[in-house]
């Protein structure tokens, strides 16, 4: 990529390509096997298809069990309610798997996509569950000659597993309400996170009802074993990767803070050392969840991107903005650290092209710095950073030094916010600035809306969708 351009592109008459330090092109060579990004996309599609296949299989078992035998309007309503209950349960199973931190899920779709799907399935499961309960309550109320409200209350006294199911519904509703953006913005992260844990409690409370009350899955037939395998598989994956594996990893590596450094922009760089750190298999661009201090395993985890290529140590750079990150300023060397991960596919392993463009803003430059440090030989490298001023860009001196060492093109866009992703005085575009867009990977990390604008600009420049990698910092 050559970041200089003789004139603004015709499609963007008020914008220009960002000027940069010209660098001789590096010798081109493939960095990853061709088609890796496409295989990952197919894997993501297959994973989502498997969720719906499981739901359809459950409904097929329901039909095979004689769901149509009741007949009549109210029989159909009960059948529909049972189908909705099956779909809601499958969505719960998908939630467990996607939140399990299982490495194969991370490799296939990445942690950010997994958490996005986890949220989408969570909303779907709540809506479908409400429809399931509404339909079965109306049908049962008609048979009993009662009103739906009285019938719903009557479930509480039927059996313990139905009472648990009602508690599950209440817990799920609380999680849903507090997950709306307006509610989440008012809650400190640690409180929202504690409430969010109710979703796993609600899932556990709903399971007995399905096996003991659900007509389709009573008995030890094929449907029962199908459902049993799904629950055991999903639950075991969640418990192993979220509980057992972290305990084993942290007891083995025993990470502690080995160095602290305050950067010129106010961010703090924390270096962690321990036993056999290399065996963690961390890659540049990934992030780890960290909790610091005594009884760190019981504290909430916060995600921080690696700001240096991992080796015998792990290094993160944190902007002290929230309560948890602000407490990092008071850390001392020797403080214990409990980690989860490494996670994410914002790595060189996701690349499909020979050229590399790194674009970052704010603390989002941290993973880009690690990617720049160990970028494979081959292809052109370009770095574009965005900040209000030079002093407010974290790790800038290190990035500039690495850019010179790697013979990378480099541009700093400093100034007030512009209409696009440049500055108020200098609007920029990638259109016409990328020499080989179909052979280029673009890595973007920064504020959410800003990153969306850069991503759209990269698409307009001709970079394939699968070659645009954007870190979302989802957790």
Averaged pLDDT for residues 160-177: 83
Q: Which fold has domain 353-471?
A: Rossmann fold (3.40.50)
CB 165 within 8 A of CB 103: no
Distance, in Å, from the CA atom of 95 to the CA atom of 114, rounded to the nearest integer, reads: 9
What is the reported pLDDT for 411? Answer: 94
Task: Decide if pLDDT at 160 tops 90.
Answer: no
Q: What is the DSSP letter of 11?
A: T
Please name every residue paired with 315 in a beta bridge, in sequence order, or none if there are none. 271
HSE-CB of 443 using CA atoms within 13 angstroms: 31
Q: Is 427 left (phi over 0), alpha (psi -120 to 50) or beta?
A: beta
Place of tokens 């969570």: 122
Task: Report the range of poorest mean pLDDT among 63-67, 293-297, 350-354, 438-442.
Answer: 63-67
**CA distances from residue 401 to 348, 366, 408 in whole angstroms, order as listed:** 20, 15, 10
221 and 227 in contact (C-beta within 8 Å)? no
Residue-wise pLDDT for 375-416, tens only, equals 988 889 999 999 999 999 999 999 999 999 999 999 999 998
Which H/E stretch holds residue 410? strand 409-414
In this structure, the chain runs to a length of 475
Please name which of 91, 302, 307 lies closest in space to residue 188, comparing C-alpha atoms. Answer: 302
Contact between residue 325 and residue 407 where contact means Cβ atoms under 8 Å apart: no
The pLDDT value given to residue 463: 95
Other Cβ atoms within 10 Å of 184 Cβ, number: 14
Is there a common fold for 254-343 and 353-471? no
- The predicted pLDDT at position 444 comes to 96
**pLDDT on residue 461:** 95
For 183-202, what is the mean pLDDT? 75
What residues does each domain of the chain span?
A: 36-248, 254-343, 353-471
Backbone angles phi, psi at 447, to 5 degrees: -55, 150
Closest CA to 281 of 237, 343, 339, 239: 343
Indicate the CATH number for domain 254-343.
2.40.30.10
Split at pLDDT 50, 70, 90, the class of 12 is: very low
């Amino acid at each position: 990529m050559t970041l200089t351009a003789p004139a603004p592109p015709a499609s963007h008459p008020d914008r220009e390509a960002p000027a940069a330090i010209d660098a001789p092109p590096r010798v081109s060579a493939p960095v990853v096997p061709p088609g890796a990004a496409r295989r990952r996309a197919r894997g993501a599609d297959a994973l989502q298809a498997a969720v719906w296949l499981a739901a359809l299989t459950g409904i097929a078992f329901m039909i095979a069990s004689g769901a149509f035998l009741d007949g009549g309007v109210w029989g159909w309503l009960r059948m529909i309610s049972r189908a909705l209950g099956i779909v809601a349960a499958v969505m719960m199973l998908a939630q467990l798997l996607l939140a399990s931190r299982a490495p194969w899920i991370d490799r296939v779709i990445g942690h950010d996509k997994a958490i996005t799907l986890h949220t989408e399935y969570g909303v779907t499961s709540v809506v479908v569950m409400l429809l399931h309960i509404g339909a079965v309550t109306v049908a049962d109320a008609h048979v009993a000659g009662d009103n739906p409200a009285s019938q719903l209350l009557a479930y509480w006294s039927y059996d313990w597993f139905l009472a648990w199911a009602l508690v599950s519904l209440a817990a799920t509703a609380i999680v849903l309400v507090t997950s709306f953006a307006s509610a989440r913005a008012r809650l400190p992260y640690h409180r929202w996170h504690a409430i969010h844990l109710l979703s796993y409690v609600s899932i556990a409370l709903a399971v007995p009802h399905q096996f003991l009350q659900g007509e389709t899955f009573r008995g030890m037939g094929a449907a029962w074993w199908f459902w049993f395998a799904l629950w055991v598989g999903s639950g075991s994956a969640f418990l192993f990767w979220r509980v057992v594996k972290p305990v084993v990893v942290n007891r083995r590596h025993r990470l502690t803070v080995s160095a602290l450094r305050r950067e010129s922009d106010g961010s703090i760089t924390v270096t962690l050392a321990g036993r056999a750190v290399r065996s963690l298999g961390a890659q540049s661009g990934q992030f780890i969840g960290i909790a610091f201090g005594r009884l760190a395993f019981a504290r909430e985890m916060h995600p921080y991107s690696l700001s240096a290529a991992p080796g015998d140590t792990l290094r993160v750079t944190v902007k002290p903005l929230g309560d948890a990150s602000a407490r990092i300023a008071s850390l001392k060397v020797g403080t214990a650290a409990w980690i989860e991960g490494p996670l994410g596919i914002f790595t060189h392993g996701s690349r499909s092209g020979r050229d590399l463009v790194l674009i970052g803003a704010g603390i989002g430059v941290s993973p880009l710095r690690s990617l720049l440090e160990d970028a494979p030989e081959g292809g052109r490298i370009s770095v574009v950073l965005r900040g209000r001023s030079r002093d407010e860009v974290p790790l800038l001196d290190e990035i500039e030094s690495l850019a010179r060492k790697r013979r990378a093109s480099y541009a700093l866009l400093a100034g007030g916010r512009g209409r696009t992703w440049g500055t108020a005085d200098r609007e920029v575009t990638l259109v016409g600035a990328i020499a080989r867009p179909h052979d280029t990977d673009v890595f973007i990390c920064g504020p959410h809306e800003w990153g969306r604008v850069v991503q759209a600009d990269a698409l307009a420049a001709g970079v394939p969708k699968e070659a645009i990698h954007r870190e979302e910092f989802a957790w």
